Structure 1
Amino acid sequence: QAPAAPAPHPPYPAPPPAPQGGTPYAPPHPDPSWPQYQPQPPYASPSPYPPQFQAQPPAMPGPVRAAQIVIFATTGLAVLLTVLVAVAAGAEASGRFFATYLMSAVLCVLAFRYPTAGNGVRVTSLVLASVQILFALGATARGVPLGILPLGSAVAVVVLLSQGSAGQWFRRHRTNAVPPPHF
């Protein structure tokens, strides 16, 4: 007895014709009768993993966030006080007053980069805050009103950004395919 030949498989239906100027590999409208088509979940579908296992972006540590807030508050106050000094005493006096807060303005620009920046921004912020301390000491010696305010805020920024958690934050691995620097 000869073995029975296997039954032929029914042929797959032919894929729909390619649209004008389109690709023959993707139908313009998904056809569920086409065996290669499997519907994909929407982009905003919930994760199949429990919430405790979903990847969350790391939160900015408290000292870094506090330094950022101190810098923003100091710069905002400096601009407000400079305008008040300009109204009360003139442009030259307001320029002398704002010179005390000059590094705070540059620090404000850097503070916007704290969530995504690397260790270079932290080191630059520490150097600028140290220069701000020198400017504030000079202003306090000259008798500039409220000259102690930029001194206190610069010291606070140096202390906050010198903490270990701040260093770890700025040296963390980022997901933009740039390898972390090796120090």
Structure 2
Amino acid sequence: MADFDFDDAVRWGRFDPQRTLARRSDAELPFISEEPQAGSEVLLDTCVYIDSLQGRAPEALLALLDIRKANHSTVAIQELMHTVGVLDPKHPQTKTAIRQIRTVLRAMRPHRVFAPDADLLGRAALLSGMLCRLQGYDRDARLRALQDCVLFLQASKLGLTLVTGNVKDFDYLLQLIPSGRVLFYRKSG
């Protein structure tokens, strides 16, 4: 595999604190301000799309998305399509949900959609493995951790700021890799 160097990735992973991480207070974390300002382009975590579709996106998040260029990851596309797959076809709201997800995906401009490369995927797998071990994640949380790590490292590699409502898991990632750029928000209502 030409794009992935195992030994380099293992050397990169030496930031392992070998202890469980504690969730920091909100005051110590970078949250979207009530009056967002222009800044770097953003990469959206899947929860941004879901919270927006469900009317739970706070006004500050919507205002931020109005003034910053938004970029998308194939990881978010994958997670949204997984949602389409797990929806019960017999449920009365399924068709509406699928239409909404279709609209979101079709609105993504192709030049703003990015796929992770082999090196990024390898490092994200190493990082998520460390995170799962340190935090004692169960089997259900491991795949989510892998996807989160891909998004986190992808944003960093692209020079973007990741926007997410997943405060707990991305706080841990920022503790492991403080150079990452994340903006958090809390869901409305």
Shared topology, TM-score over 0.5?
no
TM-score category (smaller protein) = under 0.3
- Kindly indicate whether structure 1 or structure 2 has the higher relative contact order, using CA contacts under 8 Å at least 6 residues apart: 2
Q: TM-score, normalised by structure 1?
A: 0.26
Q: Greater CA radius of gyration, 1 or 2? A: 1
Give the TM-score taking structure 2 as reference length: 0.25
Which protein has the bigger strand share? Answer: 2
